[in-house]
Amino acid sequence: MARGVYIHIPFCHQICNYCDFNKVFFKNQPVDEYIEAVGKEIEMSVRKAPEQFQDIETIFLGGGTPTALSAEQIARLLHHINTLLPTKQLVEFSSEANPDELSADKLEALIHGGVNRLSMGVQSFDQKLLEKIGRTHSNEHVFETIKQAKKVGFENISIDLMYGLPGQSMEQWEDTLEKALELDLPHYSAYSLIVEPKTIFYIQYAKGKLNLPTEDLEADMYDLLMRRMEEKEKKQYEISNFAIEGHRSTHNKIYWDNDEYAGFGAGAHGYLMGNRYSNHGPIKKYIETIKNNEQPILHRHEVTNEEKCEEQMFLGLRKNEGVLFNEFESKLGISMKELYGKEIAKLVKEELLIEDDKGVRLSRKGRFVGNEIFQQFLLGE
């Protein structure tokens, strides 16, 4: 049964150099037709299996850029969502946003449509770095948009930051953190740059033209991030996420808990009834499939018990609370210690994991090498 719903809006007015998500330039795209297709996909899915959606806790609008839509288009999309899904019971209704696109009328459309959390892609407060990564907003856009968002009634606001960017110095990162924390928001996310295939940065990297920070500098940036957040009482609850009490991301926790969620839209991914699936990515193909009254699913994979165990570990270990013994066994029907006893003992000895009577979690040292630790729990390795 779905705990959450993800809805993908693949349109952008500017393509960022690091982004590998399914997206297209907004201009000359069938945006209105796409919104209707998303509505129809939701309607078909709910009609087919209404029990899957009766207890949803969260909805997340991602992209692409949901705020690339006009206020009228946002209102239309939210009308479909509120008509077709049980949104009155939601704990959280989030939308991603770009600071230079969130006009007053779009903010009004979002909040009147039920959205109660904004996740803004700020990435840096250094203008030269913003230009280097393909972002178009200014610091003034960020400050003014947050001011306007609070004015219309948004209290739950998060911003995304990035470190390990090409040419980024520790001084630039420290300045970004200082400016971000001066905003005193309830939630912050901060991610290190990953150079993904099919991105502009990947092409530059392959040509040897991407001046990335060293691994040691990137580790120092992460260390500074954790220290600054702790000083400002923004509690770390996941490798890359920090919040004050009551403002943790409920939707993202669904992913880290390895629970089920529905995905709608072109290129969206979902996990329902033990199956992970992904939709057709090309806009035209997605719309055509919907018009033919067919589910737009391109790939479907039934997750094996072995894969469920692996995912429970490497997703759950992202959380500060880690993976609990009783939850692992009740969900998967096998003892974590029986399955992973040797790996856990080895990582505890290396001071990368902490084990207590409740479960296992990353140590502070372990957070710096999380991906290497996660690989230890791949059963096929």
pLDDT tens sequence across 309-337: 999 999 999 999 999 999 999 999 999 99
Q: For residue 15, what pLDDT is reported? A: 67
What does the angle CA 126 – CA 234 – CA 177 come to, to the nearest 5 degrees? 15
Mean pLDDT of 251-260: 97
Q: For residue 181, what pLDDT is reported? A: 98
Categorize the per-residue pLDDT at 229 as very low, low, confident or very high, splitting at 50, 70 and 90.
Answer: very high
Q: For residue 206, what pLDDT is reported? A: 82
β-bridge mates for residue 161, sequence order: 123, 190
When comparing pLDDT for 179 and 27, which is higher?
179
Q: For residue 199, what pLDDT is reported? A: 79
Residue-wise DSSP of 24-60? EESTT--HHHHHHHHHHHHHHHHHH-GGGGTT--EEE
Compute φ and ψ for 139, nearest 5 degrees. -60, -35
Tokens of 161: 């930051």
Q: What is the pLDDT of residues 75-132, one digit of tens each?
A: 999 999 999 999 999 999 999 999 999 999 999 999 999 999 999 999 999 999 999 8
Interatomic CA distance for residues 41 and 35, integer angstroms: 10
Interatomic CA distance for residues 306 and 206, integer angstroms: 35
Q: For residue 133, what pLDDT is reported? A: 86
Give the position of tokens 């880290």: 256
Please list, in sequence order, all residues whose beta carbon lies within 8 angstroms of the beta carbon of residue 98, skipping any fewer than 6 positions away.
13, 65, 67, 68, 120, 121, 136, 137
pTM: 0.95
Residue 353, SS3? strand
Interatomic CA distance for residues 65 and 99, integer angstroms: 11
Mean pLDDT of 56-69: 95
Categorize the per-residue pLDDT at 380 as very low, low, confident or very high, splitting at 50, 70 and 90.
Answer: low
Q: For residue 138, what pLDDT is reported? A: 92
Minimal CA–CA distance to 165: which of 105, 107, 122, 120?
Answer: 122
Please state, for a pLDDT cut of 90, what percent of the chain lies above it: 87
Tokens of 357: 């009577």
Minimal CA–CA distance to 115: which of 129, 125, 102, 100?
Answer: 102
When comparing pLDDT for 39 and 201, which is higher?
39
Check if the beta carbon of residue 211 is closer than 8 Å to that of residue 36: no
Q: What is the pLDDT of residues 175-213, one digit of tens each?
A: 999 999 999 999 999 999 988 887 777 688 688 888 899
Domain map (residue ranges) of the chain: 4-256, 321-375
The CATH number of 4-256, from 3.40.50.300, 3.20.20.70, 3.40.50.10610, 3.40.1180.10, is: 3.20.20.70
Q: For residue 64, what pLDDT is reported? A: 86
Q: For residue 211, what pLDDT is reported? A: 85
Mean pLDDT of 22-49: 91
Give the position of tokens 């209105």: 32
Say which range, 98-102, 156-160, 270-274, 325-329, has the weakest mean pLDDT.
98-102
Compute φ and ψ for 222, nearest 5 degrees. -65, -40
Residue 161, SS3? strand
Interatomic CA distance for residues 210 and 215, integer angstroms: 14
Torsion of CA 312, 313, 318, 324, to 10 degrees: 80
Q: For residue 162, what pLDDT is reported? A: 96
Exposure string over 158-173, b if 16+ CB within 10 A, otherwise e: bbbbbbbbbebeeebb
